[in-house]
Amino acid sequence: MKKLNPQQQRAVNTTEGALLILAGAGSGKTQVITTRIVPLLKDKRVPAENSLAVTFTNKAAREMNERVSGMAGQLAKGIVISTFHSLGVRILRRDIRALGFKPNFSIYSSSDQAGVIRQAVRERDIDPKAIDPDQILWNWLPPQFIPAIRSCSKASTPSILTTSSCSRCSCCNRQPPS
Ligand SMILES: Nc1ncnc2c1ncn2[C@@H]1O[C@H](COP(=O)(O)OP(=O)(O)O)[C@@H](O)[C@H]1O
Ligand SMILES: [Mg+2]
């Protein structure tokens, strides 16, 4: 274990209650956070699966994982150290059935999303000039498509309903909302 300075040591040994650590870049905050997990697991017997550490980048999460595994070994098995994004996905994959979706969903980037809208527009012979994918993504629709455009939860691509019934949507016979 790296030798910590007194302030870091104090933070690491403060295992009860909330702790806010404010310090400059490269001054050893991550070192404190990762080291502090060890007495929580070893001395306080906090189960690893009840422990969570989140950070912003994959690189930081990887480093924290490596540091904690290096210090706590098997005791750290089951701990979740991840980015905010991957924690969100983890929770969604576990619980999204509660919202009626399957957990094997994909996540589309903004450009993937615009591509899907363009594809859906092409497949339905809609004049692409009449539609700006970004405006659809931001919930702005040209008046002629309101309220006939809705995504279908069962479709692999968004279904654009241009007629009074869902005749072009191959996945279901849902009526467009009136
Ligand atoms: N007390 C210390 N003595 C020596 N090196 C340290 C100490 N605390 C942290 N470091 C090292 O300094 C570098 C930056 O630490 P890090 O915890 O990543 O900083 P921060 O998260 O505040 O940016 C790392 O390589 C870390 O191992
Ligand atoms: Mg850091």
pLDDT tens track, the chain, 178 positions: 568 999 999 999 999 999 999 999 999 999 999 999 999 999 999 999 999 999 999 999 999 999 999 999 999 999 999 999 999 999 999 999 998 989 999 888 888 888 888 888 888 888 878 778 877 777 666 555 554 444 555 555 444 444 333 444 444 444 444 4
Beta bridge partners of 82: 54
Spatial neighbors of 39 by CB under 8 A, at least 6 apart, are: 12, 13, 15
| Domains in the chain, CATH or no CATH each | 6-99 (3.40.50.300), 108-178 (no CATH)
Q: Whose CA is nearest to atom 14 of ligand 1?
A: 26
Query: From the alpha carbon of 25, which atom of ligand 1 is closest?
Result: 23
| pLDDT the model gives residue 96 | 93
Tell me the average pLDDT of the chain. Answer: 81
pTM over 0.75: no
CA–CA distances in Å: residue 1 to residues 6, 13, 28, 163: 14, 14, 13, 67
What ranges make up the beta strands (E) of 24-128? 52-55, 80-83
Spatial neighbors of 150 by CB under 8 A, at least 6 apart, are: 159, 161, 176, 177
Residues with CB under 6 A from ligand 1: 2-5, 8, 23, 25-31
**Residue 83 buriedness (CB in 10 A; 0-12 / 13-18 / 19+):** middle
Place of tokens 């089951």: 78
| pLDDT the model gives residue 133 | 80
Is residue 88 within 8 A of residue 103, CB to CB? The reply is no
Q: Of 116, 105, 113, whose CA–CA distance to 159 is shortest?
A: 116
Residue 104 per-residue DSSP state: T
Q: Kindly report the CA angle at 22 between 68 and 91, in degrees rounded to 5?
A: 50
The pick from 31, 55, 62, 64 for probing ligand 1's pocket by mutation, whose C-beta has the most ligand atoms within 8 angstroms, reads 31
Ligand showing the shortest atom-to-Cα distance for residue 60: 2
